[in-house]
Amino acid sequence: MQETLAMIYLWLKAGHIIFVIFWMAGLFMLPRYFVYHQEADPGSPEEAKWIDREQKLLKIILLPSIIVVWVLGLALMSTVGAHTQGWFHAKLLIVLLLSGYHGWMSAYAKKLARGERPLQGKALRLINEVPGIAAAIIVILVVVKPF
């Protein structure tokens, strides 16, 4: 029985890591899409292509990935009792913030699709660093478990 539980844990963990990679890839790509979108002329065929690309990235990669990341992450948490450990609370906070960032980017894509361009390209390039910083902190928390 213990071997079966160990195998289930390893499959949960592998799936979680795979979908974190998919999610992070989408979170890195979308702000770059926004930069290129904003550089396109308003109402142009190129702008329409960027709107389509952003929606596909959000619906085909980002939305399914965040759902699977959360489901498998919560399953892992309950399997190993991580909710009792300090490092997990810090990780959970960062993942919640990253999920909020995902939601903000989804809303920003809708603004761009409506023709609104509230941010400059430079700001979007800086915002593109958020997932990388979050990923680095999360990896340190999970691997090192500093507290």
Q: Mark the binding-site residues for heme, compressed into ranges.
A: 16, 91
Rounded Cα–Cα distance for residues 15 and 11 (Å) = 6
Rounded Cα–Cα distance for residues 67 and 48 (Å) = 28
Cα-based angle 114, 66, 96 (whole degrees, multiple of 5): 90
Residue tagged 């399914």 (tokens)? 64
Handedness of CA 120, 124, 127, 129 (dihedral sign): negative
Q: 72-81 burial string, b = 16+ CB within 10 Å, else e?
A: bbebbbeeee
The one-letter amino acid code at 40 reads A
Residue tagged 């894509």 (tokens)? 109
Q: Which residues are known binding-site members?
A: 16, 91
